[in-house]
Chain A
Amino acid sequence: MTQVVVGQILNGIILGSLYGIIALGVTMTFGITGIVNFALGQFMMIGAYATWYFTDLAMLPFPVAVVLAVVLAAVAGLIADQALFRFTRNNLVNGLLVSIGLISVMESGALLLFTTTPKNMDIVIAGSWSLGAITLPRMKVVAFLLLVAVIGLTWLGLSRAWLGRATRAYAQNPEAAMLMGVPTKLLQTGVVVYSCALAGFGGALYASLFSLEPSLGGLFILKGVEAAILAGVGNLLGALAGGVILGVTESVGSLYLPSAFRDAYGLVFLVAILLFRPAGLFGSQK
Chain B
Amino acid sequence: MKSFFKGCVAGGLMAAAIPGFAFAQATVKLGQIEAQTGPNAIYGYMSSQGVPIAVDEINKSGGFKVGDTTYKFELIALDTRGDPKEATIQLKKLLEQDKARFVFGPFLSNVFVTIFPYAQQFNGKFLMMGGGTRIHDFVGKPGNDFVIRTWNWDAGPKGFGEKMVDYLIKTAHPKKVAMLFQNDSGGKVLGDIYEPIFKARGIETMTEYFEPGTKDFSPVLAKIGEFHPDYLFPGYSDAALYDIVRQSVEGNYSKKFFLVRGSTGPGLKNKDGLEDYIVYVPKDFEEAEKKEPKVKHFIDAYKAFYKRDFPYDQAPLCSSSCYDHVYMLVAAMQKAGTVEDVGKIRAALLSMTYQGMWKISFDDHAEQVFDFDIVHLKKGGAKEVVHVEP
Contact = CB atoms under 8 A, between A and B. Distances in A.
Contact of A255 (B183, B222, B238, B269): B222
A214 B226 contact: no
Interface in A170-223: 210-211, 213-216, 218-219
A118 B211 CA distance: 18
Contacts of B39: 213, 215
Nearest to B223: A255
A259 B223 contact: yes
Interface stretch (A4-12, A68-76, A86-94): A4-12
Interface in B1-53: 36-39, 41-42, 45
Interface string B75-107: 000000000000000000000000000000000
B243 interface: yes
Contacts of B183: 260-261
A4 B226 contact: yes
Given A116-B42, A135-B252, A213-B39, A260 B211 contact: yes
B189 to A, nearest CB: 15
A273 to B, nearest CB: 21
Given A4-B222, A8-B222, A252-B219, 19 more contacts: A7-B222, A115-B45, A116-B36, A116-B239, A118-B239, A120-B246, A135-B250, A137-B247, A210-B216, A211-B238, A211-B243, A215-B38, A216-B215, A250-B219, A254-B223, A259-B208, A260-B209, A261-B211, A262-B211
A117 B314 contact: yes
Interface residues of B, number: 39
19 contacts: A7-B222, A8-B218, A107-B37, A111-B37, A115-B45, A116-B38, A116-B45, A120-B246, A128-B252, A135-B251, A137-B247, A210-B243, A211-B215, A211-B239, A214-B37, A215-B38, A254-B223, A259-B210, A259-B211
Given A8-B219, A255-B223, A260-B183, A118 B251 contact: no
B226 A1 contact: yes
A4 B210 contact: no
Contacts of B210: 259-260, 262
A15 interface: yes
Given A120-B265, A137-B251, A259 B225 contact: no
A11 B216 contact: yes
A137 B250 contact: yes
A279 to B, nearest CB: 29
Contacts of B225: 4
Nearest to B42: A116
A213 B220 CA distance: 21
Contacts of A215: 37-39, 213
Interface in B173-229: 183, 208-211, 213-216, 218-220, 222-223, 225-226
A227 to B, nearest CB: 15
Contacts of B216: 11, 15, 210, 251
A111 B37 CA distance: 7
Contact of B252 (A107, A126, A130): A130
Given A115-B311, A118-B239, A211-B242, A262 B45 contact: no
Contacts of A130: 252
Contacts of B247: 137
B219 A219 contact: no
Contacts of B226: 1, 4
B275 interface: no
Nearest to B38: A215
A4 B251 CA distance: 11
B289 interface: no
Interface in A87-113: 107-108, 111
Nearest first, the 10 closest Cβ-Cβ pairs linking A and B are: A260-B183, A254-B219, A116-B41, A211-B242, A259-B220, A260-B209, A137-B250, A210-B215, A120-B242, A11-B218
B251 A213 contact: no
A216 B215 CA distance: 9
Contacts of B166: none
Interface in B59-79: none
A56 B309 CA distance: 16
Contacts of B38: 116, 215
A121 B45 CA distance: 21
Contacts of A123: 246
B313 interface: yes
Contacts of B214: 259, 262
A215 B239 CA distance: 11
Given A128-B252, A130-B252, A255 B219 contact: yes
A252 B216 CA distance: 12
B227 to A, nearest CB: 12
Contacts of A259: 208-211, 214, 219-220, 223
Nearest to A11: B218
A120 B313 CA distance: 12
B97 to A, nearest CB: 25
A129 B213 CA distance: 27
Nearest to A108: B37
A169 B298 CA distance: 63
Q: Which of B42, B239, B266, B311 has the most CB of A within 10 A?
A: B239
